[in-house]
Amino acid sequence: MATRSLIPSGDFRTTYAADTTIFPTITSRNFAIFGILLACFAPYVFSNYWLSISIQIGIFAIAALGLNVLVGFTGQISIGHAAFFLLGAFTSAYISNNAPIPVFFAIPFAGLVTALVGLIFGVPAARLKGLYLAIATLAAQYILLDFFSRAEWFSGGSVPASAEPFSIFGYMLRGDRQYFYVVLAYLIVSYLLVTNLMRTRDGRALIAIRDHYLSAEIMGINLSKYRTLSFGIAAFFAGIAGALYAHYQLVVSQEGFGIERSVLFLAMVIIGGTGSVMGTLMGTAFVVLLPETMEWISLELKGSAIDRALELNTNITFLREIAIGLIIIAFLMFEPDGLAHRWRQIKAYWKLYPFSH
Amino acid sequence: MEYTLEVRGVSLRFGGVRALTEVSFGVKPGELFSIIGPNGAGKTSIVNCISGRYKPTEGRLFYRGKDITGLNPNARPSLGIGRTFQNLALFHHMSVLDNIMVGRHHLLKNNFITGSLYWLTGARREELDHRRKVEEIIDFLDLQSVRKATAGTLPYGLRKRVELARAMALEPQLILLDEPMAGMNFEEKEDMTRYIVDLNEEFGMTVVMIEHDMGVVMDISHRVTVLDFGRKIAEGDPATVLADPHVKRAYLGEEDEALVDPDDVPLPRESAA
């Protein structure tokens, strides 16, 4: 019964506690801590442009994590995730503008409000599956967007709503450099929370529902409760991410948060690896960085020998869009299990070198 | 005599198909009770009624004197009813350990909030305590070597054992085993038989078992009930049942005056687990 394990020989566990750690080995844990420490230096190394890209990755990775709980771990589907993201953004902006609550508290509060709304939209989810559920969540997207354009008191209607900058106890954080740490902290905490969730009772119940809902029910798991709960959790992280985004941009508008953004969130989850916490981060980075990379390539191409030979001129822009689409298609064909799976393969390769198994 | 499980006049119809017709029997505490019958006799249907997958069209089910006919399936483990499935129903992408831990669901108290805050809320200690219980089951069923393996990658015989482990983790007083030995080789059957006898004698569980292997059924059952075309045709200790003329006819395919002519009755579909 050879089961592939990357735990080095001689690494024995003598307590159950040592066998239920987040990271499989001490080295992998140290690497993660080292990675976080490196990330702390990012604001001093990165240009403003790259700093803004990393903040975006951080924020979207939190939202995508929520979606992964729903899609990857519970086996449900949602194409209304962007609407919950936007709801979190508007809620946090509204609270920080209209109530004497510092932004520090407004962000988690916006998460809770979004989670409540998510639970409401999650109720039909307990009874629907597959394509039917997809359509139901599409309805959620349109209902919420319609609400935002009508409720001017809440969202400012056609005028973008303004949001207060981030503050803790009167101390105002200004600029990308300081905001980077806020996002980093939220990112780490969110990923820890979800990792913990997935190794305890309710997380296991979600995965059990995904793998075999009939036997999950016989094991005492209330299907309706957990399917609805999963929507609540997904909406919570979308709300947190949206709130972070609002206080980063300082204005919130509906622009760019239609159905295409919802699909992009799904792409992040699928490319990163459904049912993988760290994969979500990789997938988000991939989806955010891909257009940037293609932009860079097309800029390099402009005026080069290839450009002149093929007379591309302005067509480069269109080629870029096509290339992004092609890369995503190729990715899904050759890497259906996502980046997380590829990462495991790479680790196995180095671990087992020069043998292949 | 107080029954652990009492099935009282249960009928189950799917449209025009009569899967069960007025089936009644009682299982006494501590008994190892077998249900046998030819394919499509309604064995799995009756177990599905007991575990809550199906609601009987007529009749009532009592568990330790309590009417459980309309109870949701997910409420039954906490009463003490556990089951395994005929067709494997493991959580394929989870490890064996996590599969068994799912069985502890109704015994664990942490929820999505306390679970997420793992270190701060005592969820960690609770999980580790239950891990200890699960390891006892792993020890009992000899699953140590595969505890971290993904359930979907295991060979058939082992998967059946993992499923038994998961049902044991529920700590049931009544365990329903739907063909625990189907598709196993001789050695695996021997092991499984030993486990079932241990469940009954050592763990004190009341066992209701569906099984096709007559040798095993006759060897270990205290009492046997025989179904054919959704009706009970015989019940009693193994020897009596084997000698019963109705049973002989049901298995050898001769006509039986106790039933309608089998050729005229649409065959009830073997319902999926």
Q: Which residues of A touch B170 (CB under 8 A)?
A: 219-220
- Residue B97 shares a structural domain with residue B135: yes
Q: Do B154 and A201 touch (CB under 8 A)?
A: no
pLDDT number for residue B258: 54
Of the candidates B90, B111, B127, the beta carbon closest to that of A212 is on: B90
Residue B127 structural domain: 81-171
Q: Which of A133, A143, A144, A118 is nearest to A77 (CA)?
A: A133
Does B194 map to a domain? no
**A84: closest CA of chain B, how far (Å):** 20
Q: Which residues of A touch B105 (CB under 8 A)?
A: 201, 204-205, 219-221
What are B185-206's pLDDT values in tens digits? 899 999 999 999 999 999 999 9
Q: Do B92 and A223 touch (CB under 8 A)?
A: no
pLDDT number for residue A2: 39
Does B251 map to a domain? yes
Boundary-marking domain end, from B171, B192, B223: B171
Does B61 map to a domain? yes
Q: Do B94 and A3 touch (CB under 8 A)?
A: no
- Residue B107 shares a structural domain with residue B145: yes
- pLDDT higher than 60, residue B263: no
Does B163 map to a domain? yes
- Residue B22 shares a structural domain with residue B85: no
pTM of the entire predicted model: 0.89
Of the candidates B51, B102, B116, the beta carbon closest to that of A193 is on: B116
Q: Which residues pair with B175 in a beta bridge?
A: B82, B207
Fold held by A45-352: ABC transporter involved in vitamin B12 uptake, BtuC (1.10.3470)
**Among B residues 187-226, those touching chain A with beta carbons less than 8 Å apart:** none
pLDDT average per 10 residues of sequence, chain A (357 residues): 61 84 86 93 90 95 96 93 95 88 89 95 85 90 91 80 78 83 95 95 95 93 94 96 94 87 92 92 93 86 79 76 84 86 86 78
Q: Which residues pair with B33 in a beta bridge?
A: B208, B223
Residue of A nearest to B273 (CA): A214
Does B43 map to a domain? yes
Size of interface A-B (CB pairs under 8 A): 128
Rounded distance between C-alpha atoms, residue B26 and residue B215, angstroms: 23
Q: Do B146 and A3 touch (CB under 8 A)?
A: yes
Does B177 map to a domain? no
Boundary-marking domain end, from B171, B196, B217: B171
Q: How many domains does chain B have?
A: 2
- pLDDT higher than 90, residue B58: yes
Using a CB–CB cutoff of 8 Å, tell me whether A143 touches chain B: no
Of the candidates A3, A202, A218, the beta carbon closest to that of B73 is on: A218
- Residue B161 shares a structural domain with residue B85: yes
Whether cis (ω within 30° of 0) applies to the bond prior to A354 is: yes
> Is A233 exposed, middle or buried (CB count within 10 Å of its CB: 0-12, 13-18, 19+)?
buried
* Mean pLDDT value across residues B177-191: 91
Residue keyed to tokens 């004698």? B201
Q: In this structure, what CATH number is given to the domain that contains residue B164?
A: 3.40.50.300
- Residue B150 shares a structural domain with residue B100: yes
ipTM of the modeled complex: 0.87
Rounded distance between C-alpha atoms, residue A284 and residue A277, angstroms: 11
What is chain B written as a DSSP string?
Answer: ---SEEEEEEEEEETTEEEEEEEEEEE-TT-EEEEE-STTSSHHHHHHHHHTSS--SEEEEEETTEE-TT--GGGSGGGTEEE--SS----TTSBHHHHHHHTTTTT----HHHHHTTTTSSHHHHHHHHHHHHHHHHHHTT-GGGTTSBGGGS-HHHHHHHHHHHHHHT--SEEEEESTTTT--HHHHHHHHHHHHHHHHTS--EEEEE-S-HHHHHHH-SEEEEEETTEEEEEESHHHHHH-HHHHHHHHT---TTS--GGGSPPPP----
Residue of B nearest to A212 (CA): B91
Q: What is the DSSP letter of A167?
A: E
Q: Which residues of B touch A203 (CB under 8 A)?
A: 112, 115
Does B186 map to a domain? no
Rounded distance between C-alpha atoms, residue A244 and residue A107, angstroms: 7
**Confidence category of residue B178, pLDDT binned at 50, 70, 90:** very high
